[in-house]
Amino acid sequence: MLPPDHACLLLCDLKGSSDFGAEKGGELLGQLEPLLAQMNERHAANIILPLEISYGDEIAGLLHHPEAAFQIVRTLRGGLGIQMAFRFAVVFGRIGARTSNIRQIGGEVFTVGNAAISRLKRQNRFGEWHIFQDARDIELTLLTNLCQGFIARMTDYQFLVYALLAKGLSQKAVAQRLGKYPQSVSDAVRRAEIDLVIEAENQIINRLRTHNQSNIIVLEKSIESH
C-alpha cells in the first residue's frame, strides 16, 4: 500500500552505534530485528510502512497516528534496556515520494526529522515532537525529556517496576509478579519517582490523542469537500 500525502514519521537513532564492534553490533541488531517485527505486528492497524533498520543505526517507519509512535518508543526502551540507548523524533507532515520504500520517501517529514535528530545529538536529549506545529510540540518535548531524565537514573529493578506499573498493574500485582514484598515495590516507586513519570507519560498520551481526533476531523472535511 502506498502512503498518503501526509503521514507520521517515527525516526530513531541508536546512540554510540559507531563504537560497536562487529560482534556486539551484530548481537544487538539481531536483538533489535525481532523486536521491530513484534511491534510491526502489534501496531499493524496504525502502521503505513513498517519499522525497519536503515543505514545500520537508524529505525524509521510511517504511521497514521503519533500515539502509536509513543507506544513504540516505550516498547523499544523496554526491549533494548541500557545496552542500546537511542534518541527519536516524531514528525507529522507532507511526504516526498509516494512509494513503499521508506528510504526513497524524503520530503518535509524527513527534513524536519533529520534536523531534530541532529539537535538531539548535539544537546544529548532523548526526543522531539513536531506534530502540532505550535507550542504543544514544545510541551510534549519537555515532558518526554523530563520523563527520560528520571528513567535514565533508575536501577534495573526500578525500571522493571516502572514498566509493569506503566502497563496498568497495581503495586500489589507487581510485587506478586516479581516475587517481592509489597514494601519493596513501594520503596522503588518512591525513590525513583515512578508515579510522577507515569502521570507525565499519561499526559503525553492524552495530548497525542487530541492530535488523532483533530486529524480525523480535518480528513473528514477534506473528503466532504471533494
pLDDT-above-70 percentage for the chain:
85
Confidence of residue 15 (pLDDT cuts 50, 70, 90): confident
What are 22-50's pLDDT values in tens digits?
566 566 677 788 989 999 999 999 999 99
Which among 68, 88, 71, 86 is positioned nearest to 31, based on CA atoms? Answer: 86
Residue 65: closest CA among 133, 110, 2, 7 = 7
CA distance 214 to 48: 19
Most confident of 13-17, 22-26, 84-88, 191-195: 191-195
Residue type, 51: L
DSSP string, 58-94: EEEEEES-HHHHHHHHHHHHHHHGGGS-EEEEEEEEE
Rg, C-alpha atoms of the chain: 18
Residues paired with 58 in a beta bridge:
13, 54
Q: What are phi and psi of 157, to 5 degrees?
A: -65, -45
Residue 210: CB atoms within 10 Å = 12
Is residue 59 within 8 Å of residue 52, measured between CB atoms?
Answer: yes
Question: What integer pLDDT is reported at residue 16 of this predicted model?
Answer: 67
What is the pLDDT confidence band of residue 80, given thresholds at 50, 70 and 90? confident
Angle between helices 194-225 and 156-166 (to 10 degrees): 40
Using the structure block, give the residue that is written with the C-alpha cell 534495573: 156
Amino acid, single-letter form, for residue 71: Q
